[in-house]
Structure 1
Amino acid sequence: MKKLSYLFIALFSLSLMTTSCREQKSTGEKVEEAVEDTGDAIEDAADDVSDEVEDAVDDNK
Structure 2
Amino acid sequence: MRRSQAAVEYLMMIGIVLLIIFLAMRLIQRTVNNASKNIENATQLILKELQKGINGSGG
Q: Aligning the two structures, in what range does the TM-score lie when normalised by the shorter sequence?
A: 0.5 to 0.7
Q: Distance in 2 between matches of 1:46 and 1:53?
A: 10
- The alignment status of 1:49 with 2:25, answered yes or no, reads yes
Question: Structure 1 or 2: larger helix share?
Answer: 2
Aligned residue for 1:43, secondary structure, equals helix
Task: Give the TM-score normalised by the residue count of structure 1.
Answer: 0.58
Q: State the identity as a percent.
A: 8
Q: Distance in 2 between matches of 1:52 and 1:44?
A: 12
Aligned residue for 1:45, secondary structure, equals helix
Deviations 1:19-46 (A, max 9, x none): xxxxxx7000000000000000000000
Q: Distance in 2 between matches of 1:60 and 1:35?
A: 37
Greater than 3 Å deviation, 4+ residue runs: none
Aligned residue for 1:27, secondary structure, equals helix
Superposed CA RMSD: 1.1
- The alignment status of 1:28 with 2:26, answered yes or no, reads no
| Count of residues in Structure 1 that have an aligned counterpart in Structure 2 | 37
